[in-house]
Amino acid sequence: MSQGKVLLSVQDLVISYGNIKAVKGISFEVYEGEIVTLIGANGAGKSSTLRGISGIVPYKGTITFEGKDLKSIPADKIVAMGIAQVPEGRGIFGNLTVMENLKLATWSRKDKQEIPKDYQRVFDIFPRLSERQGQLGGTLSGGEQQMLAVGRALMSRGRMMLLDEPSMGLAPVLVREIFTVLREINQSGTTILLVEQNANMALRVANRGYVLETGTIAHTGTGLELLGNPRVKEAYLGG
Amino acid sequence: MTYLFQQVLNALQLGSIYALIALGYTMVYGILTMINFAHGDLFMLGAFFCFLAATFLHLPFIPTLLIAMIGVAIVGVLIERFAYKPLRQAPRVSAIITALGVGIFLENFTLVFAPYPQSVPTLIKNTTWVIGGVSISSLQLIIIALSIVLMILLDFIVRKTMVGMAMRAISWDKAIVPLMGIPLDLVISATFALGTSLGGAAGVMYALAFPVIDPYMGVLIGWKAFIAAVVGGIGNIRGAMIGGFILGGVEILVAAFLPSTYRDFVAFTLLLVLLIFRPYGILGKPRPQKV
């Protein structure tokens, strides 16, 4: 899969909160068209890495997207450059309707005439959201909220999508549904960077993975390689 | 009966001014969970902008109103940028003290230029009609109608436009908003501009209804409008409108049937009692605890 060009590059990334270093100088690339996953336990630095890319925490090191340095670019402009976000804990606006949640994500888009087509696409992928268009986000179930979070990211139409633990708190059947959708989204041309604790699911869907341990990259390889790696198996896949 | 009807009309006039000011408090609270205690003084600035435009530029009513609204909005946005924004991550009490300080600054800044009460020229020719024993002035009608138009406009902006949606999104979760590609600071500025311009409009109307203005006029009215916002449910836009009209109504009715010195005493007692039974205000809801 690494025949494409580098879309996102992270070099020597260091993220600290006060005296605590959450990410200790990691480097990795995401090639165009790939699904790459960062897996690891709580506190391994996965979410911090993602927050660094999104531009919501300060960092040392270099992050580039399509060759452009993202440092000192505000978070909203990073989305406008083409990085769509599915935030940790879904981040649905509970006081807004499903439709309003989707509409807001189109704020920075220039191609306004394409937007109706994308609503249709979101509703085709998630018919449940179509039924609930006028319902407040806060009244949706966890699974529906996750669908809405992914739908919103589709509406901001990035070339790349960042997802922070989309499987969190969902029943296994819903997790499978979400991951199937992620694969479809990827096949239609969106590059995906996926942070997950559910290593098993994430590695099955990903082309490549990085295993983070206490802020450094401990293992790397294709999804299948990591699934077969005995040490990864023991630590993250339940033996 | 005609006496009561007359008082209802007076209550609507006072209530719509309170409601317009209360909206400014509630909008800022809604997105930043901060009380902008300088808002009453922005209302005062609105009255002074009106005074300046009418006295020195000899402008008619509509341009005067627009100048006051835009002028106050600019001051409001600047206050947010330079006084409140640096404190966004600071403890809430710092922001409140800063807001009080900004208010005192505005009062004294105005005092430098207007040490004595100023009298605002008549901008609207006041005709009074007597219908069935009730006297209705054109000024009264204009104040009530204009306030209602402004409130409908605001309600529309908040409910139907992208920027209004973004304001509501901020009130739910500020941290997520930039991740949707929305410039947070721009939306916060827009909120301040809208909220304070309504305060400015209220200042103009007040100056027309009670044409002697001074730099401290915003203090008591500001507090009252703040209480109206709390009674309606702070952070809730329709609540602020309702709270404004309730406060106006209570004040006028008390003054109509009791000695007028009892007005504030009875009005505030009633509101305190109301808050015992509805601590979050009439339309307010307890904020959901986010985990």
Pairs of CB atoms within 8 A across A/B:
69
Residue B289 lies in a domain: no
Confidence of residue B284 (pLDDT cuts 50, 70, 90): confident
> Rounded mean pLDDT of B65-94?
95
For B103: left if phi > 0, alpha if psi spans -120 to 50, otherwise beta; the answer is: alpha
The confidence score (pLDDT) of residue B288 equals: 55
How close B165 gets to chain A, by Cα (Å)?
7
Q: How many domains does chain B have?
A: 1
Which of B93-97, B122-126, B207-211, B230-234 has the lowest average pLDDT? Answer: B122-126
Q: What is the pLDDT of residue B133?
A: 82
Mean pLDDT of B57-78: 96
Instruction: Identify the pLDDT of residue B204.
Output: 97
pLDDT tens figures, A70-103 = 998 999 999 999 999 999 999 999 999 999 999 9
Select from A53, A70, A79, A93 the residue whose CB has the most chain B CBs within 10 Å, as the one to mutate to test that interface. Answer: A93
Q: Check: CB of residue A190 under 8 Å from CB of residue A159.
A: yes
Catalogue all structural domains in chain A, each as residue range(s) with its CATH number.
Answer: 1-82+159-239 (3.40.50.300), 89-157 (no CATH)
Q: Do A56 and B178 touch (CB under 8 A)?
A: yes
- The CATH number of residue B7's host domain is 1.10.3470
Whether A213 has a pLDDT exceeding 90, the answer reads yes
Q: In this structure, is residue B282 part of a structural domain?
A: no
Convert the pLDDT of each residue in B108-153 to its tens digit: 999 999 889 999 998 888 888 888 888 889 999 999 999 999 999 9
Overall average pLDDT of the B20-24 stretch:
96
Whole-angstrom Cα distance, residue B190 to residue B192? 5
Residue B290 is predicted with a pLDDT of 44
Is residue B240 domain-resident?
A: yes
**Which residue in B166, B168, B173 is closest to A91 by CB distance?**
B173
Assigned domain for B169 exists? yes
Chain B segment 137-176 residues within 8 A of A by beta carbon are 162, 165-166, 168-169, 171-173, 175-176
Cα–Cα distance between B274 and B269 in angstroms, integer? 9
- Going by the DSSP 8-state scheme, the letter that residue A105 receives in this structure is T
Interface test with A, best of B179, B182, B185, B283 (most A CBs within 10 A): B179
- Tell me if B253 is assigned to some domain: yes
Range of the domain at B26: 2-277
Is the CB of A171 inside 8 Å of chain B's CB atoms? no
Residues of B in contact with A148 (CB under 8 A): none
Shortest CA gap A217–chain B (Å): 26
Amino acid at B12: L
For strands A68-69 and A60-65, give the pairing. Answer: antiparallel
- The predicted model gives A42-56 an average pLDDT of 93
User: Does the residue B286 lie in any domain?
Assistant: no
For residue A86, what are the contacts with CB-CB under 8 A and spacing of at least 6? A149, A150, A152, A153, A161, A162, A163, A164, A166
Q: Which residues of B touch A100 (CB under 8 A)?
A: 165, 168
What's the pLDDT at A1?
47
Q: Residue B38 falls within a domain, yes or no?
A: yes
pLDDT range class, residue B4, cuts 50, 70, 90: confident
Helix or strand (DSSP H, E) at A65: strand A60-65
Interface pTM, i.e. ipTM: 0.92
pLDDT confidence of B65, banded at 50, 70, 90?
very high
Nearest C-alpha in B relative to A158? B181
Which of A83-87, A148-152, B95-99, B276-280 has the weakest average pLDDT?
B276-280
**Structural domain contains residue B72:** yes
Q: What is the mean pLDDT of chain A?
A: 93
